[in-house]
C-alpha cells in the first residue's frame, strides 16, 4: 500500500487506515478480544500503518485492545487516539471535558492503555464550548514539547475553531465524517484544510456500513448498536436512502469491484492528503477495504459518482439530537 502525508506535517501513514472503534463499541456487542487483536494484526500484515482509537470507545476497552495488538509492531505504525469526554465514577461517559488539566490526565491514561511512550496523533474528540480552543491547543502543545505526543488533531471542528487552534499549535489532521453519502465538509472545511496544510481523516467513509449494501430496509440493529437511534437509519429513511446504494452497487458491478471499494477509492481520488479509516470486525471485509487502494477511478468515473451522489441526498440526521449538539459549527 502507498503512503500519504497528512497535510504539510511529517506524519506519513498508509493511504487507508483502520478505525478500531467497532471492535469494542458502537456497533453492537464487543467482539472477542483475541479476535479483535487478530484483525488489527492482520491489518498490519496487509500494509495498514494508521490505527484510530479513543478513550471513550468502551470506554477505555478499545485503547487496551489496540495497545495489545500493536505492541509487537509499534515501530511500524502510527496510533491516533482522542480526549475530550468526562466520565462518572462508573466509567460511563458524562459530557464534555477539555480542560487542560484533564487533557493531560487523559493523555497519561491513554499512554498506559496503549502500551507506548508517545501518541502519534492526539485529537480533541469534540469541541468543548466551555473551554477556549486556545487553551486546548496549548495543553497539547505542552504534551508535544514533553515528547508524549507527536501531532495535534481535531474532530468535527468548524472552520473558526480550526483556525484558532492552528494559530497556537499547528493542527496535523481534522477527523470528520465524509463519504459519498455525506459531503458537507466540501463546502467550507476542505478549502480551509487545503489553505492551512492540514490533513483530513474521513471517518465513516462507508456511511457506517450503509454504502456496502449490507444494510437492508428490514435489517434489525442490536440495542447496543448506536445506529438503532440514528435518524438516517430509521426504517422509513433507509427506504429512501437505498436509492444511492442501489445505483452505487450497479456502478461497482460494472467495474467488477464492490460498492465499498468504490466508496473508498472515491475518497482517495479527492485529495492526496485524505486518509479514510474504515473499520471492520471481519478479515474478509478488511481485505476488501484494503483492496480499494488498487482501484483507479477515471475522471469520467468520478463525474458519474458525483452525479449519483447529488441525485440521492441523504434523508435523516446523521446523529440523534443529543450527539448533534456536540458538533462544532
Residues with catalytic function: 57
> Which secondary-structure segment (H or E) carries 33?
helix 33-45
- Could you tell me which residues come within 8 angstroms of residue 286 by beta carbon, excluding any fewer than 6 positions away? 18, 39, 42, 43, 46, 280
Burial class, 142, CB count within 10 angstroms (exposed 0-12 / middle 13-18 / buried 19+): middle
Number of Cβ within a 10 Å radius of residue 245: 23
- Could you tell me which residues come within 8 angstroms of residue 49 by beta carbon, excluding any fewer than 6 positions away? 3, 13, 14, 17, 76, 77, 78
8 A C-beta contact, residue 52 and residue 277: yes
Residues 287, 293, 294: CA angle, nearest 5 degrees: 95
Three cell numbers, residue 126 = 469534540
Q: 79: closest CA among 91, 66, 90?
A: 66
Task: Report cis status (omega within 30 of 0) of the bond before 227.
Answer: no
Three cell numbers, residue 77 = 505504525
8 A C-beta contact, residue 215 and residue 238: yes
Amino acid at each position: 500500500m502507498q503512503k500519504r502525508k497528512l497535510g504539510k506535517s511529517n506524519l506519513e501513514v498508509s493511504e487507508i487506515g483502520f478505525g478500531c472503534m467497532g471492535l469494542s463499541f458502537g456497533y453492537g456487542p464487543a467482539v472477542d478480544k483475541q479476535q479483535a487483536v487478530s484483525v488489527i494484526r492482520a491489518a498490519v500484515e496487509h500494509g495498514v500503518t494508521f490505527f484510530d482509537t479513543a478513550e471513550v470507545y468502551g470506554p477505555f476497552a478499545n485503547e487496551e485492545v489496540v495497545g495489545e495488538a500493536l505492541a509487537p509492531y509499534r515501530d511500524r505504525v502510527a496510533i491516533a487516539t482522542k480526549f475530550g469526554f468526562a466520565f462518572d465514577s462508573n466509567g460511563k461517559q458524562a459530557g464534555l471535558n477539555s480542560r487542560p488539566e484533564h487533557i493531560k490526565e487523559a493523555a497519561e491514561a491513554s499512554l498506559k492503555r496503549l502500551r507506548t511512550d508517545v501518541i502519534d496523533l492526539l485529537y480533541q474528540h469534540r469541541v468543548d464550548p466551555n473551554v477556549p480552543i486556545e487553551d486546548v491547543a496549548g495543553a497539547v502543545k505542552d504534551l508535544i514539547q514533553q515528547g508524549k505526543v507527536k501531532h495535534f488533531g481535531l474532530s468535527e471542528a468548524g472552520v473558526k475553531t480550526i483556525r484558532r487552534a492552528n494559530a497556537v499549535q499547528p493542527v496535523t489532521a481534522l477527523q470528520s465524517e465524509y463519504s459519498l453519502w455525506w459531503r458537507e465538509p466540501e463546502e467550507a472545511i476542505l478549502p480551509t484544510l487545503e489553505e492551512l496544510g492540514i490533513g483530513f481523516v474521513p471517518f465513516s467513509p462507508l456511511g457506517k456500513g450503509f454504502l456496502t449494501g449490507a444494510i437492508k430496509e428490514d435489517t434489525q440493529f442490536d440495542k447496543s448498536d448506536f445506529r438503532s437511534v440514528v435518524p438516517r437509519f430509521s426504517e422509513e429513511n433507509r427506504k429512501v436512502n437505498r436509492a444511492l446504494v442501489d445505483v452505487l452497487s450497479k456502478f461497482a458491478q460494472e467495474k467488477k469491484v464492490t460498492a465499498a471499494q468504490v466508496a473508498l477509492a472515491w475518497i482517495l481520488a479527492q485529495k492526496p492528503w485524505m486518509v479514510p479509516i474504515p473499520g471492520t470486525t471481519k478479515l474478509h471485509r478488511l481485505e476488501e477495504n484494503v483492496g480499494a487502494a488498487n482501484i483507479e477511478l477515471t475522471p469520467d468515473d468520478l463525474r458519474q459518482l458525483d452525479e449519483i451522489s447529488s441525485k440521492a441526498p441523504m434523508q435523516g440526521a446523521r446523529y440523534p439530537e443529543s450527539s448533534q449538539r456536540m458538533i462544532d459549527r
